[in-house]
Amino acid sequence: MSATTSTNYLVGVFEDDDVLMNAVRKVREQGVKIYECFTPFPIHGMEDAMGIKRSRLPRAAFMFGATGTTFAITMITLMMGFDWPMNIGGKPFAAPPVYIPVTFELTVLFAALGMVGTFLVVSGLGPGSNKLVLDPRFSDDKFIMAIDLGSNKNLDPAKITELLKSLGASEVNTKEVSE
């Protein structure tokens, strides 16, 4: 018997990336919290404008890469040195130079797969996930700025709408999303 909760979003539609970026700066200066921007292509400098912190993905990538390196070296040493030693051209059984290609490949593989996996988990983009699409036109030619009214309770929605319009939004819609 739980009551259905719903969130109200204010969706500003812009026609140009530069206009959107400028609007994002101005809107934040007014103390409005932006939920998210949806754009047809990545916009350079948008993270800064929206005040998004830098991703920690590179650190994860490094850890995955280091895991790959360790895995490769351990695997080759165990295989070539202990499990099945073979005399190849009179080289030592476990000879470091022959490690290089496999170690390189596994480092890259672990880092790449680990990064993709981490990204999917952190962004909640796993299989079956259903992400909020507030205005499908963002995958075509519109630049969308979404404002969660729930987190801007102290501000009047009409004022925000006016602000967005004055900053170049071609339309501002309200969208209710039930959870």
Residues in touch with other proteins (CB under 8 A): 18, 21-22, 43-46, 49, 54, 58, 62, 88-92, 97-98, 100-101
In the complex with other proteins, which residue's Cβ is closer, 1 or 86? Answer: 86
Minimal distance in Å, beta carbon 21 to other proteins?
A: 6
Three-state secondary structure string covering the chain: CCCCCEEEEEEEEECCHHHHHHHHHHHHHCCCCCCEEECCCCCCCHHHHHCCCCCCHHHHHHHHHHHHHHHHHHHHHHHHHHHCCCCCCCCCCCCHHHHHHHHHHHHHHHHHHHHHHHHHHHHCCCCCCCCCCCCHHHHCCCEEEEEEHHHHCCCCHHHHHHHHHHCCCCEEEEEEEEC
Minimal distance in Å, beta carbon 60 to other proteins?
A: 13
In the complex with other proteins, which residue's Cβ is closer, 104 or 133? Answer: 104
Minimal distance in Å, beta carbon 89 to other proteins?
A: 5
Minimal distance in Å, beta carbon 24 to other proteins?
A: 10
In the complex with other proteins, which residue's Cβ is closer, 85 or 92? Answer: 92
Nearest-angstrom CA–CA distance, 102 and 68:
10
In the complex with other proteins, which residue's Cβ is closer, 97 or 128? Answer: 97
Minimal distance in Å, beta carbon 42 to other proteins?
A: 11
In the complex with other proteins, which residue's Cβ is closer, 49 or 106? Answer: 49
